[in-house]
Structures are given as C-alpha cells and as structure tokens.
Structure 1
C-alpha cells in the first residue's frame, strides 16, 4: 500500500523494461481494455528511449503509466487499487490538462484511459469531451483454437523482410523497417511475444504481432494487417485465428484487440475469427478552443 501522506510525482522511467513489468502486474481477466505491456513492446520499435512514457508515483511506487502514442494522444492506465484514488486522479488531470506540465502539448489532444478510472470525471469537469468510438473485442482461450486453414510461420530474423513488407503494404504511410523490428524484438516485452506471417503459396499475405502479459492474463494483438494485394480472401480471419492460438500457447487467458468502430471491416474480421465485441469505448478529447 502507498503512504498517502507522500506527494505524487510525475516523471519518466529509467527504462522501458521497468514499465513493461509494472503493466504486466496490472493486467487481469475481465478488466476493461487498458494500456497493455504489448503497447509498450510495440513502441519499442523506436528504440529504448523513454521520452514518450510518463509515470505517476507515490512513495516510490508507480501508480499510473501513460504512453504518448504520437504527439497528441496519451494512452494510460493505473494500478487496480487506485482507479478511484481522487488525489491521483486530480493530479493526473492537472498534469494532462496544463501544457506547461510537459505531458501533453497545447491544442487538440486526446486521452485514452480504461472505463472506470476516476480520471475521466476530472477531465470532464475540465471541459474534455468524448471522442470517436472504438470497439474492444475479446476471444476466450479456455478451449483449443481451430486450425487457421493457411500456412503460418513464426517470424525470426530470416523472415523479417516479409513481415515488414506486409505491414508497410497494410498500413499506408508506415515507416516500419527491418531495423525497427530488430529494436522491437530486443525489448523485454518481446520475450513473451510472437510475430506471425500467413502465406498463400509462396506469398506473404498477412501478419500479426501478439503480446502475452503472462500466464492467466489477457494477451494483445498489436498490430494485425493484410497485404493490400491479397485482401478479400479471408487472410485477415486466418491470421487472427493463428494469433489467438499463439497467445493460448503462451498461456494467455484471452486474446484482446481494439479497433475504431468506424472500421467496420476490421470489426467484421475479428468477429469472424471468434472475437466477441465488448461495449464501445471513447477517448476523451480537448479541442483547440477549450
């Protein structure tokens, strides 16, 4: 337990591995969708720098973690026992809302936090409003996962070029590279992760990275994509089924993913792979005029 007489301090961690360990401890089956160690693992493709990560601590204990997913989006979560801690929520709201605190810049920005975090109330009081809806989806991994129906390979150094090519084709404007993959794979989070590639004949047609948070905890798909030249043939479903199977092998209790609700094709793909949509969630947004 924290000493509530001590001040809450915001800062950057000494290393990303420290943050991954904390986030693993906070993942729990049945909890709302929240920042996952896999999110930090995927960020590791930019290297080991910690400048995009913020932590809120009290008495030496990390209470909350935020990841700047780009310059204007802060994704965050907190330890389960402090979700309703008013002192923490108030301090986080002040740090996030006031640009001179160095957490988010002035102008239009967004915060993604799990449903039930008291921070949401404080941001609403400060004039933040609901953003676009996102759909979390979950697949239970108690039972064995069916065969995906296509050839699936686990990516090692010899398949990095194919994995990168699929990603860059799937996501317009992507800068993902072989060097970035190697940086990501060097992080501690990747010890409990796998990159998979699906093949149609000799063609690499879809790819996914899955991240375990440890046995008995939900695992994350981030990212999943289908090569633009091979869409419409069920490869998205196949690689998603393979992702669920890989997470089950890693000991995950469930597989989770989140996608914009407006991306109806992605939602349909995940549903076809046995994922169940959960209640929509929304970021909280501060407009440039607030």
Structure 2
C-alpha cells in the first residue's frame, strides 16, 4: 500500500502523541518529543491538529511532523524507518511541492534526524544546511543536586505566576493563564510538570516546563526562562537542576534540551548544570 500523509484532526492527536512516546529512546536522535506537541497545545487542539502531519503505510504511523510556524517543519520517524527509501522519497516530495500542503512556497526549513535518509535527498533539490543547534543531555541515573532556589510546582490555581515569569523571560511573549489552561487539556499534560523558582526575597524569578515520555525514556525541558529583571544570579542553572529532578521523579532516563548554537549563554547555563553537549545538528533550508 502507498504511503499517505494526513492531518489528524483534533480527535487523532492522541495517536500521534502515542507514536512519539513509543519512538523515544536513549541514543536515538530526537526531533519531536511528545512535549513539543504538549507545548504547542497552548494554542488549542484545533490549531495543534492543523499543524501536525502524519505519514502512514498499511495503517502504521511511520513519521510525524509539526509545522512550528508557517515555514518550519519539524519531523521525525519511527527508528526502524529512518533509511526507508519509499518513505524518504514521499516525505521529500511532500515538503518540496507546495501544492501538497505541507510547506508553503518560498523560504522554508525542515528539521529532521541527522541519520534520516531525508537529510540526503533534500540537498539534491537545492536545499542547504541551515541554522546550527546544540542538543544537550543529562543522565538521570543518579540524584540531581538540589537547586539554590525555592521551587514550587504550578497547577491551575497558580498558573498565573508561571505565565507572568514566561512573559518576563521572553520578549514578545503573549503567554497567559488561559493558554496554560488550554495546554492542560492536551494528552501530553499528564506527563508534564511546571515549576517556578523563588529567590530569597520571595520573587518569582525563573520558570520551566518539563515533559516526560514515560518511565525509562528521555524527557525534555521546553521552555525554560529567567525573568529579565532577575538575570545574572545563577537562576537559570538552578531552575534547570529543578527541572532535571522533576523529570527523574517522573521516571525519565535523561533530561534533554535543544538550543540554537548561537545562544552561547544558554548552552553555558545547561553545561553548568551538568548537561553534556552532544554533536551539533542543522536544519535544512530552502531559499525563496
């Protein structure tokens, strides 16, 4: 049977989340984690479904993509089909040809596992290496050092605190308590935790979300931020340690994060918390 690509619809998102959970494993390149869909869910189930693409063969999900913005497709595959030629060719056609409805014409980018055959096919059609990213990982086999902040776990009653810190951490952020509550309706929410760090004066200074993919599987941090009024005091390292500890409590085997290589300060923050820098990865870009 031929490979098909589809939008799942709000009711089909859980199937994509379950596939992504199943595919997470130590040592395997990750491009999309269930937590990535969970964080996107702040825009609602319909918007998340509209941004997801699923490739199938004989009913089985082979690949899941997320349009993280109008012109960026983040995509991953089941580990055993990374080099599947039929799948790679179908995915390449879908992202190259705008009429397929996966990517618009003009400038665009694709993030895919570095060992996927898709990485070799797109350059044959004029795509080139794009922005470099640095993945980092912390093994959670041993307990994590306690952070130098008071940490509070956030729920519906105090989600406004988490939202306030996020708006203060990211320029242009429009995150609100309502978006937090919308995010909490998504399937990945059950495997997540939201933390806020308070300094000695009782000010909320840093916040992070962590997402587990299940016991014994890698978890991720997405997003993590320090309020712009409280930077330069080591709060980024402290909230990162708290995030890693929360993932360990959820049973995650490791804590992972991906950050632009150009963000030298962020890379240094994670390394100061014990995260190990992994080989740099790049997306594939198409010019207008």
Answer whether TM exceeds 0.5 for this pair.
yes
The interval holding the TM-score normalised by the smaller chain is over 0.9
**TM-score w.r.t. structure 1 length?**
0.96
Aligned 1:39-188 pairs, distance under 5 A: 39-49=36-46, 50-188=49-187
| Match of residue 287 from structure 1 | 287
TM-score (norm 2): 0.97
Show CA shifts across 1:51-93 (max 9, x none): 0000110111110000000101000100111100000000000
- Over the aligned positions, Cα root-mean-square deviation in angstroms equals 0.7
Per-residue displacement from partner, 1:66-122 (whole Å, max 9, x unpaired)? Answer: 000010100010011110000000000000011111000001000001110111111
Query: Where do 4+ consecutive residues of structure 1 move more than 2 Å?
Result: none
Distance 1:249 1:166 in 2: 24
| Correspondences of 1:184-263 after superposition (within 5 Å) | 184-200=183-199, 201-263=201-263
Distance 1:75 1:259 in 2: 14
Name 2:4's counterpart in structure 1.
9
Residue ranges of structure 2 left out of the alignment (5+ in a row): none
CA distance in 2, matches of 1:244, 1:106: 40
Give, in angstroms, the shift of residue 158 of structure 1.
Answer: 2.2
Structure 1: segments with no counterpart, 5+ residues: 1-5
- How far, CA to CA, are the matches of 1:275 and 1:60 in structure 2? 38
On the 8 A contact 1:198/1:239 being kept in 2, the answer is: yes
Indicate which of 18, 33, 36 corresponds to 1:36: 33
CA contact (8 A) 1:197 1:208 kept: yes
Shift of residue 33 of structure 1? 2.9
8 Å CA contact 1:12, 1:55 repeated in 2: yes
* 2:58 paired with 1:25: no
Question: How far off its partner does 1:202 sit?
Answer: 1.8
